[in-house]
């Protein structure tokens, strides 16, 4: 029997993350699980695959805005009846998502995909793809809106 007690929703505050939230809510309710919502302040990409974290002052300026956005997610009547854990990390998104999932013993990761074209995927890569490849728990990826699963 599948027993999901902790579900992780990584978010970058995009529409695709909001779309994945619908699935995370359903699974959280179905299994009476905790919902963990994680935002990773990510490295910025440069040409030729190099990346960097923004300078410390810029990161400090970004944190309060990210924290406000994080606390708006699933902050409604539905959430009042659930255990919701919100966390912020800094670093490479796929690494921090996997690290958090391991530390907290997450049972399922539900995350949106961006559906970028092959050129963007080649240059930037896919956080979701890397999480699927490296996570120690199941990962459900949710395609952009318009590809919803509907019970028959």
User: What is the tens place of the pLDDT at every residue in 37-51?
Assistant: 999 987 554 444 445
Mean pLDDT calculated for residue range 36-65: 64
| Residue 5: inside a domain | no
Nearest to 6 by CA among 84, 72, 87, 79: 84
What's the structural domain count of the chain?
1
| Residue 148: inside a domain | no
pLDDT of residue 46: 43
3-class SS of residue 79: helix
| Residue 2: inside a domain | no
Task: With a cut of 90, say whether residue 149 has pLDDT above it.
Answer: no
In tens, the pLDDT along 95-147 reads 999 999 999 999 999 998 875 555 545 544 588 889 999 999 999 999 876 65
Give this prediction's pTM.
Answer: 0.81
| Residue 24: inside a domain | yes
Q: Chain-wide mean pLDDT for the chain? A: 82
Crossing angle between the packed helical segments 127-134 and 93-104, to the nearest 10 degrees:
40
| Residue 18: inside a domain | yes
What percentage of the chain exceeds 90 in pLDDT? 48
| Residue 42: inside a domain | yes
Q: 113 with 101: CB under 8 angstroms?
A: no
Name the residue range of residue 64's domain.
11-142
Task: With a cut of 60, say whether residue 12 has pLDDT above it.
Answer: yes
| Residue 3: inside a domain | no
Least confident among 21-25, 73-77, 107-111, 117-121: 117-121
CATH number at residue 38: 3.40.50.620
Mean pLDDT calculated for residue range 66-78: 90
| Residue 149: inside a domain | no
**What single string gives the DSSP state of each residue in 93-122?**
HHHHHHHHHHHHT-SEEEEE-----HHHHH
């Amino acid at each position: 029997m599948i027993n999901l007690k902790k579900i992780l929703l990584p978010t970058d505050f995009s529409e695709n993350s909001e779309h994945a939230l619908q699935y995370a809510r359903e699974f959280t309710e179905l299994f009476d699980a905790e919902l963990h919502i994680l935002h990773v302040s990510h490295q910025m990409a440069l040409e030729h695959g190099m990346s960097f974290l923004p300078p410390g002052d810029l990161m400090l300026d970004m944190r309060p805005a990210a924290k406000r956005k994080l606390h708006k997610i699933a902050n409604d009547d539905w959430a009042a009846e659930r255990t919701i854990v919100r966390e912020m990390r800094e670093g490479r998104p796929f690494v921090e998502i996997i690290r958090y999932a391991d530390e907290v013993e997450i049972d399922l990761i539900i995350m949106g995909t961006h559906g970028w074209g092959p050129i963007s995927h080649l240059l930037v890569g896919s956080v979701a793809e890397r999480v699927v490849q490296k996570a120690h728990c199941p990962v459900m990826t949710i395609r952009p809106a318009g590809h919803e699963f509907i019970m028959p």
